[in-house]
Amino acid sequence: MNFKNKVVWITGASSGIGKELAIALKSQGAKLILSSRKREKLYQLKQALKTDPINTHILSLDLTDKQTLALKSEEAWRIYGYIDILIHCGGISQRSLGLETSLEVEQQILDTNYWGTVILSKNIIPRMIENGSGHVVIISSLMGKFGTQYRTSYAASKHALHGYFDSLRCEVYDKGIDISIICPGFVNTDITKNSLTANGEKYERSDDFQLNGISPKECALQILKAIEKKKEEVIIAGKEKWGVILKRFFPAYFSKMIRKRKVI
């Protein structure tokens, strides 16, 4: 893979897959813009990268603060004067029953996972088109392909990403813009611990599926291979990936099966 001197903006870069993508890309000589709400953790990552500070910039943002995202996009673009790759890693999961989850929590999940991603893209892609090229990468989930208990709003946000960016790809395919949707399964990160419960509190627990998932480093490397090959959609998962096949060809069986699965 060759990302040398590529300008890459990563949201959700302070932990998990986003952090590992930053580490891997920096080792290949990329120029980074690192974003998340956790400014201190971003600076800790920058220090750990031990890199020329000119080629790694911190741009903290909150994906739920929709009024600020256009300005953040402008600021990101001005850093280097262009962006080659925008990787949307920022996101939050859910561990609560749909009928028990407050509308405020559901809105927070949709704002973080869907609207923040859409708003940043709508501000960056036109600039990429003016430059003649660009690549937008959406880190979705297997929950973008099917749903389970305790993930109503999370699954909805990921399904929405697929619908929006599949459609957008059709609109910009002839303008030099590539769009990749990445669907990880279980990855051993803190996403479960940081999931929102019905009242908005953090779940603060991990589950066996997450703990036994692939490492975020391995996931990041597979994502970079998909970016290099300009794949439109890639599933990165263990045996849970078969759920996509079952859902497509045997939907009734899949529904019965998934109702019985322990997912919390």
What residues are labeled active site? 154
User: Of all residues in the chain, what percent are helix, strand and coil, respectively (each to 5)?
Assistant: 50, 15, 35
Instruction: Tell me the β-bridge partners of 85.
Output: 8, 135
Taking a C-beta distance cutoff of 8 angstroms, is the pair 224, 24 a contact?
Answer: yes
Residue with tokens 């036994």: 212
Do 103 and 152 contact (CB within 8 A), yes or no? no
How far, in Å, CA of 90 to CA of 11, rounded?
Answer: 5
For residues 96 and 183, give the distance between their C-alpha atoms in angstroms, rounded to a whole number: 22
Among 115, 96, 99, 97, CA closest to 107: 115
Number of Cβ within 10 Å of residue 133's Cβ equals 12
Nearest CA to 83 out of 137, 47, 119, 141 is that of 137
